[in-house]
Amino acid sequence: MSSGTQAVPLSKTSLWAGRIMSGLVVAFLLFDASIKVLKLAAVVEATAKIGYPVNTVVPIGIVLLACTVLYVVPRTSVLGAILLTGYLGGATASQARLEDRWFLFPVVVGTLVWGGLYLRDGRLRAFIPVRKAE
């Protein structure tokens, strides 16, 4: 965001709702990154089923971990959200290609990534205002 963007004041309810939403997403993403980095058998099998080489499991986990850390740090949270959107878009495309019934799950996670950030970051709210119905 540009330095000229004035932050919108946040209510305590909005701030905590955003923190909780973001916290749940971060917990899930850290779990997902961890099981990839640890190369659990189920993850290796699922990666092969999707059609990716099994030697990509750990690098994919490291990328997810890095994106999640960027999302958690307030100064880089928007960059983290952008990178997580790309990561989750790839997950959606991979699952949709296989006609997996869970292909919308990464879309939901991405929506929660941005929803949590929107609720807890007044600068993002100022940049993308929600207009009231007239």
Contacts of 88 (CB under 8 A, 6+ apart): 106, 107, 109, 110, 113
Are the CB atoms for 21 and 114 separated by under 8 Å? no
Give the integer Cα–Cα distance in Å for 77 and 89: 18
- pLDDT of 5 reads 66
The domain segmentation of the chain, as residue ranges, is 12-122
Give the integer Cα–Cα distance in Å for 66 and 72: 10
Q: Encode pLDDT of 31-80 as tens digits.
A: 999 999 999 999 999 999 989 999 999 999 999 999 999 999 999 999 99
- pTM score of the predicted model: 0.89
